[in-house]
Amino acid sequence: MKHNKVFVLLPDGIGLRNFVFSSFPAIGDHMGFEVTYWNQTSFDLSELGCRDLKLYGKASSKTDLYKRARKEIELKKFEGQFQDDIYRKYSFKPLITTLKQRIKKGLVQYYILKYKGNKLSRLRDKIKASERKTAFYKSCVETLKKEKPDFVFCTNQRPVNAISPILAAQDVGIPTATFIFSWDNVPKATMVLETDYYFVWSVHMKNELLTYYPYINEAQIHVTGTPQFECHFQKELVLSKDEFINWNNLPKGVDYICFSGDDVTTSPYDPQYLEATAKAVRQLNDKGYNIVILFRKCPVDFSNRFDLVLKTYKDVVYEVSPKWEKRGVYWNEIMPLKEDVLQLFNTIYYSKLVINVGSSMVFDFICHNKPCAYMNYNPKAIENLKDIHTIYKYVHFRSMPTRESVVWLNNSDMISEQLETMLNDENQTVLSSAKKWFNIIAGEEPQRASENIWKTIKGILNA
């Protein structure tokens, strides 16, 4: 029997860029797979020529409370296991303003006390039992029995509403896999799904899974790379400079540097950092340079917190907006459009360097052999919302082969000097180390991740 019908589960918009707006579907078709997107997003993927099967339903509220308790228990476990209090920083306390929210918080605390320590496996079983009682789970079983896919591949290990489709597949005998979607996800206890197989970016991420989740066997983990960076190796995406300039209403005859924003939780000081960079660029321009900043806001940041800076420094800061669309009130309901791949690629292609706070954009830029600078100071004279140095203590930064993988901007006074050094091609140590870091994180074949994923699925089905 030929095994070639694959359901690609899209529980939210996170997977669109990697698994829809990339070469992933075309490669699957070319390799003879019948690819169907089991789609819980609001996008109509049939408009892109994809087979689109809508998925309706949601996880039970009890499952979500169990999931929240599981994360807190795992973070506490990691803290004790590794004698490292950084894991506390991955716990974000929800805003409690209503009686219903207080009740939910109390239930989560009760589950934490009940299932902490060696009782965690019982909580994992409770999550599954809770979902098997839902109408959502039952509808997933009916769909799978009708459609009879040979494999279910989930694009993201985090969403609670992906549990029922995965459980349903396993219960009717269909093999399942999930993709670990971000470089920092494993130490943060974001594992929600328990699948038959796990597809990871690199050997580094494989070792993380084995370290943090001993119930996962090595044979279940496959190193495939991530489609996230494939676009940077596709030179057909290059627009002419005039096309890029006209698309974004940019000035001509200048050099571009990129400032990429973070979300407000990660970097509450981003407006101050953008302003400091704008001042540094003005200083360089006074010395004879001709530079403007291309400001790419974090795609899930729809705030107005940059408005004053953009107005005050409109001579040197130009917004190059991510092509994302807000389709709900939560961050995972803000979804990329296909045009954003083109926008991101050409923003990097025409920029000399990037500045940000601890972003994976360092890897996007190193694909183009361009350096990254990390902001690394707390601005003065404003409310101390967060110690920015905490960010660089997070576990995923420990994968950095040397501190010279990026340029460190340790105070606002040094930005102008450091930018000048970066612009004058004095970056060989930084570029070399950043490339090593990229290979650690993204693996040895970042340009072939989609192909590797499909080959892995084929190998599993043919075993």
Distance from C-alpha of 81 to C-alpha of 211, rounded to nearest angstrom: 10
5-59+134-225+446-462, CATH topology level: Rossmann fold (3.40.50)
Contacts 24+ apart (CB under 8 A), 140-144: 140/55, 140/57, 140/164, 140/165, 140/167, 140/168, 140/169, 141/168, 141/171, 141/172, 143/38, 143/53, 143/55, 143/168, 144/7, 144/168, 144/169, 144/172, 144/174
How do beta strands 221-223 and 255-260 pair?
unpaired
Ordered by start, the domain boundaries in the chain are 5-59+134-225+446-462, 64-120, 234-440
State the pLDDT at residue 332.
58
Distance from C-alpha of 197 to C-alpha of 453, rounded to nearest angstrom: 12
Across the beta sheet with 5-10, the strand order is 51-54, 34-39, 5-10, 151-154, 176-179, 197-200, 221-223
Contact indicator for 243, 226 with CB cutoff of 8 Å: no
Q: 235-276: per-residue pLDDT in tens? A: 999 999 999 999 999 999 999 999 999 988 889 999 999 999
pTM of this structure: 0.95
Across the beta sheet with 372-375, the strand order is 317-319, 291-296, 255-260, 351-356, 372-375, 407-409
State the pLDDT at residue 331.
54
* pLDDT per residue of the chain (463 residues) written in tens, 0 to 9: 467 999 999 999 889 999 999 999 999 999 999 999 999 998 899 999 999 999 999 999 999 999 999 999 999 999 999 999 999 999 988 778 899 999 999 999 999 999 998 999 999 999 999 999 999 999 999 999 999 999 999 999 999 999 999 999 999 999 999 999 999 999 999 999 999 999 999 999 999 999 999 999 999 999 999 999 999 999 999 999 999 999 999 999 999 999 999 988 889 999 999 999 999 999 999 999 999 999 999 988 888 999 999 999 999 999 999 998 876 656 556 778 899 999 999 999 999 999 999 999 999 999 999 999 999 999 987 777 789 999 999 999 999 999 999 999 999 999 999 999 999 977 899 999 999 999 999 998 999 999 999 999 999 999 8
Q: 413-437: per-residue pLDDT in tens? A: 999 999 999 999 778 999 999 999 9
Considering the segment(s) 234-440 as one domain, its CATH architecture is: 3-Layer(aba) Sandwich (3.40)
State the pLDDT at residue 1.
47
Question: CA 416, 418, 424, 426: dihedral to nearest 10 degrees?
Answer: 170
